[in-house]
Amino acid sequence: MTLDDGLVKALVEDYEHAAISEAERAMLDYATAITEDATRISPRDHERLRAAGFDDRAILQITLLAAWFNYINRVADALGVGRDAR
């Protein structure tokens, strides 16, 4: 959570070039990889997170949150939540 509108804008536009820590970048890279194709996640991805300072519990939490957001967004999309009624 942040109140920094500039940081939020930078994250939305291109998090890879936003002013964030390497740990935050590693976390966002991992969440992006889960979103794009979770079947491609490998132990190497987990090792990168560990190298950035995340322990197994944190990796589990990141995984669960990214997967949950992907799930709930797909449910909302399938039900038309947020779309104009036709």
Global pTM value: 0.83
Total domain count for the chain? 1
Compute the average pLDDT of residues 14-24.
89
The rounded distance, in Å, linking the Cα atoms of 77 and 44 is: 32
Domain of residue 37: give its range: 21-79
CA 5 – CA 26 distance, rounded (Å): 22
pLDDT recorded at residue 72? 96
Residue 46 pLDDT > 80, yes or no?
yes
Is 60 within a domain? yes
57 domain-assigned: yes
Whole-number Å distance between alpha carbons of 26 and 65: 15
Residue 66 included in any domain: yes
